[in-house]
Amino acid sequence: MRISLFSLLSIFFALSFSLSASAEAVVFTANLGVGSRGTQVIALQQFLNQDPDTRIASTGPGSPGNETSAFGQLTRAAVIRFQEKYTSEVLTPVGLSQGTGRVGSFTRTKLNMLSAPAPIANAPVVTPPAVVPPAPTVTPTPAPIVIDNKVTTAERIDIYSGDKMLANIKNRILSALNESIASRDTATATMPTITAADIPSVVVGALTPQSGSPDARISITGRGIRGDSVVYFGSDYIVRTLNTEYSGNFSFNVPSIPPGLYDIAIKTGTVVSNTALFVIRDPKNPPVHLQSVSPSNISYGDTLTITGSGFSPQHNTVITTYQKFTNVSSPDGKTLVIQLAPESITSSAKIGKGTRQISMILQVVNEYGFSDSKKSFTMTL
């Protein structure tokens, strides 16, 4: 039987391919940075050592064959070289031009693409036999959205359960207040008793900053947050890993999920916090700028016109001191119109003498970001 040289070469390369693939197929699932430890770090160092451009070290700890489980400064430097080698896929999408040395979502995506069984980017370069047709030109495709931040069926919760507890407190107090106003009695209002059981034991106080691109680090302040807490981005996405800051506070890295405005809730054990707004920014979107609000003084139920730029066609949230509006539309992107009739003022507005002027401020937030300023106005009751 005649076996051609090409057939032998094909068999040889096929065997090499399968052996190589089984050794190199690593899936990076965790964010890694200086101080990280574990098998993912070993795998990362092994992967980086395959490319002379990203080699951890040529001798000693971290060098090929001497990979360690510790992510130190040498690993960080190698990750920076890796990120800058693949700038267009790792750094540009998040608006960076220099590597960070931290393995986040986009870096992981590129690592996983390169370490996937096929194609193998680091396969030995060989001159193909003349009979092998040239490989077709492949147009690079954008990095796929990482789906490991999707909420699983078991993780699905009502992220607004903490908000509902707070709304219940608000309603009870307003009810008591309205009773006092309706009674025309000048005795001290009787307020409801609020116990610890009425308040969620996990509370999000602030996210700093309130917006960011994928992989940005966001600090959380609040109560009841622990290292094993998880962060929900709306009902569909989740961040399962919190970082512990030197201050004792916690932080998380913005996941690579679709840009937009998200309600953030934190779950510790079975308790769900209140929600806070957060925007995952898309660098292509314009900033949200507030120009003016008019008129500067209104009556209860009047409309208020907000001018500026960077308003979303459909999904603007206008937060005022006494009332919040969601999904306010702005067909021209420059104007928003709201009708102010806060529930907490309804009873007072009915009996108002037109002598009390109350101050309010407003802020706009949409999928592009938070407004660059807040505007004040007054309402006469």
Partner 1 sequence: MAFPSLSHAQVPFGGLDVFEFPCTCSPFMFTLFAPMFFGPIPLAGALAVPDTPTMFSFYELFPTAWALGTFTPGIQACWMYAVLGCFPVPTLGMMDPFTGTSL
Does residue number 292 form part of the binding site for partner 1 (CB under 8 A)?
no
Nearer to partner 1, 258 or 295 (CB): 295
Q: Using the minimum distance from each CB to partner 1, give the nearer residue, 170 or 226.
A: 170
Site for partner 1 in 209-238 (CB under 8 A): 221-223
Give the one residue of 21, 113, 216, 319 binding partner 1; rule: CB under 8 A.
Answer: 319
Helices and strands, number each (H, E), in the chain:
7, 18
Torsion angle of alpha carbons 207, 209, 210, 212, nearest 10°? -120
By CB under 8 A, tell whether 184 contacts partner 1.
yes
Q: Smallest distance from the beta carbon of 213 to partner 1, in angstroms? A: 21
**9 near partner 1 (CB under 8 A):** no
Is the CB of 59 or the CB of 193 nearer to partner 1? Answer: 193
* The two structure tokens encoding residue 145: 């959205």
Site string for partner 1, 116-155 (x = CB under 8 A): ----------------------------------------
Q: Please list every residue from 259 through 288 that binds partner 1, using CB under 8 A.
A: 274-277
Q: Which is nearer to partner 1, 58 or 357 (CB)?
A: 357
Ranges of H-type helices in the chain: 5-24, 39-49, 73-85, 87-90, 105-115, 161-183, 346-351
Q: Please say which residue, 110 or 281, places its beta carbon nearer to partner 1.
A: 281
- CB-based burial, 128-142: b 16+ in 10 Å, e otherwise: eeeeeeeeeeeeeee
Minimum CB distance to partner 1, residue 334 (Å): 24
# chain residues binding partner 1, by CB under 8 A: 52
- For residue 106, give the DSSP letter: H
C-alpha count within 13 angstroms, C-beta hemisphere, residue 52: 1
Contact between 155 and 238 (Cβ < 8 Å) = yes
Position among 187, 247, 331, 354 found at the interface with partner 1 (CB under 8 A): 187
User: Smallest distance from the beta carbon of 22 to partner 1, in angstroms?
Assistant: 50
Q: What is the DSSP string of 228-286?
A: T-EEEETTTEEE---EEPTTS-EEEEPPSS--EEEEEEEEETTEEEEEEEEEE--TTSP
From residue 331, give the alpha-carbon distance in Å to each of 82, 256, 313, 315, 337: 44, 29, 5, 11, 11
Does the protein bind partner 1 through residue 70 (CB under 8 A)?
no
Which chain residues interact with partner 1 by CB under 8 A?
166, 169-170, 173-174, 177, 180-181, 183-189, 191, 194, 196, 198-199, 201, 203, 205-206, 208, 221-223, 274-277, 319, 321-322, 324, 342, 344-345, 348, 351-353, 356, 358-359, 361, 363, 374, 376, 378, 381
